[in-house]
Amino acid sequence: MSLEATNKLMVFISYAREDASFAFELGAALGLAGFVTLLDRAHTSDLDRYQSLVRNWISEADKVVFVLTPVSARSNTCKIEIEEAIGLGIPVIPVVAEPLEGVRPPNAVINYNYVFFFGEQKTPGSSFGSGLTQLVAVLNTDSDWSSRRTRLLNIALEWDARGRQKSLLLSPDQAEAAKEWLAARPRYLPAPSELQVQFIQASVANAVEQEIEEQRRLQQLDAAIAKAEDLRKKLQERKPSKTGKVFISYRRQDVMAYAGWLYTLLTRGALRNRVFIDVDTIEKGRDFTEALEQHLAQCDVMLVLVGRNWLDARDTSDRRRLDDPEDFVRLEVKTALLRGVSVIPLLFDGAPMPRVEQLPDDLKPLANRQNYTISYETFARDVEELQRHVLDQITIPISWRRILLISVALIGGVGVAVLTIIVWLGELKIIR
């Protein structure tokens, strides 16, 4: 709900049933003067329903006009309405429609200034016309402040009715404006209700918490950016070397079973001892993060396993894991992209390829990588095709000792010289 004042002031008219004729005439006159009037024309006998209905009307009103007569002064219904308005911090303006004839006004308004709508002897010139002119002037006084009070009151009532949820508090800018509004209250107007004050205080406190959290988030972001920049420089300074190793990146809550099957099939063939997966490859007792960094620095190909839950997996705070700069999967993929190695997304269980706008900035290049769809029904065939693709991209280095042994066994000393030159000029690739 907006905190801005509405163009027309909302005025609730409290009156006794016997004074209905005057109340309706007053409501019509105020309507012509540009006000929106709220008044009960039915006067239902169901007190509970009536109180609920009138409470809503009063909470929507910027000011309340109380038609004071001998009858309304004794009316319990009017007493309830006036006390409700005062309790909510809404200004109440008593208008005297006829002589009170010694009847005492309600205690809640006994010390208020009255506006007379009849020829009161102590108030020369008083009449319906002069009373209306005076009432309009009073209603228009500080109307902007009163309208903002109404907006704040209704937001505070909703906040209270819905368990005072943080999500219903004011935004930081609105909280600051409400704080200034509270400080600017004219001294002659009633103080806002305790609920409004509590609501504004809670909003201000929440705004401070948000500011602290935002500063902490920015600090974390700056640290992550600095860390990424440092890693980028180190990777740029490091001369790339081919290792022929494959890194499997996956999220355990997403495709853990698929990851295990994939690892098993890949390591049965030419990629034996060259595939890294965190569960089977990290030695017992070794630092997990250190092992990940080492294997990431050595891989030539990363296989990113994407299931239906990969993109929107949540942590215990219901924050998307990919939005956490320290998330392991995000760090793995980001590092591989920075190193410029081949990154291949593998889609499981019908998961769609993540779109650019769904990924954090450091993972956006992943959206443009060629992907493979791995089906449960054709899992072995799909993995075989994937393995051929991987082998086409990597170089499996052969040690000098093996080169010499193979050379001597096959073609003698000339072979040693030839193969030595080949290895010196480049790297041996597996030809399938």
How high is the mean pLDDT in each 10-residue block of the chain (432 residues)? 57 93 94 89 63 81 94 91 89 93 90 88 81 92 81 86 90 87 79 87 90 88 80 59 81 89 87 79 60 80 94 90 90 90 93 94 93 92 91 63 47 47 43 32
Same domain, 35 and 153: no
Same domain, 317 and 369: yes
Task: Kindly state the DSSP code that residue 10 receives in the 8-state scheme.
Answer: E
- Domain hosting residue 95, numbered range: 1-141
CA distances from 162 to 52, 154, 318 (A): 17, 12, 21
Same domain, 33 and 126: yes
354 Rama class: left (phi>0) / alpha (psi -120 to 50) / beta: beta
Same domain, 123 and 168: no
Given the structure tokens 């790297």, which residue do they identify?
427
Same domain, 36 and 108: yes
Structure token digits, residue 108: 């809640």
Same domain, 25 and 42: yes
CA distance 293 to 25: 82
pLDDT of residue 372: 93
Q: Are 306 and 346 in contact (CB under 8 A)?
A: yes
Closest residue by Cα to residue 11 from 122, 112, 120, 132: 132
Same domain, 62 and 9: yes
Domain boundary among 207, 238, 269: 238
Same domain, 115 and 157: no
CA distance 344 to 393: 11
Look at the chain and report how many structural domains it folds into: 4
Domain boundary among 238, 271, 292: 238
What is the SS3 assignment for 88?
A: coil
Radius of gyration of the chain (CA): 39
pLDDT of residue 286: 58
CA distance 368 to 359: 12
Burial class (CB in 10 A: 0-12, 13-18, 19+), 161: exposed
Same domain, 14 and 59: yes
Domain boundary among 190, 210, 238: 238
Same domain, 345 and 259: yes
Same domain, 150 and 134: no
Say which CATH number the domain at 32 has: 3.40.50.10140
Q: What is the 3-state secondary structure (H, E, C) of 290-312?
A: HHHHHHHHHCCEEEEEECCCCCC
Same domain, 252 and 330: yes
Structure token digits, residue 112: 């208020």
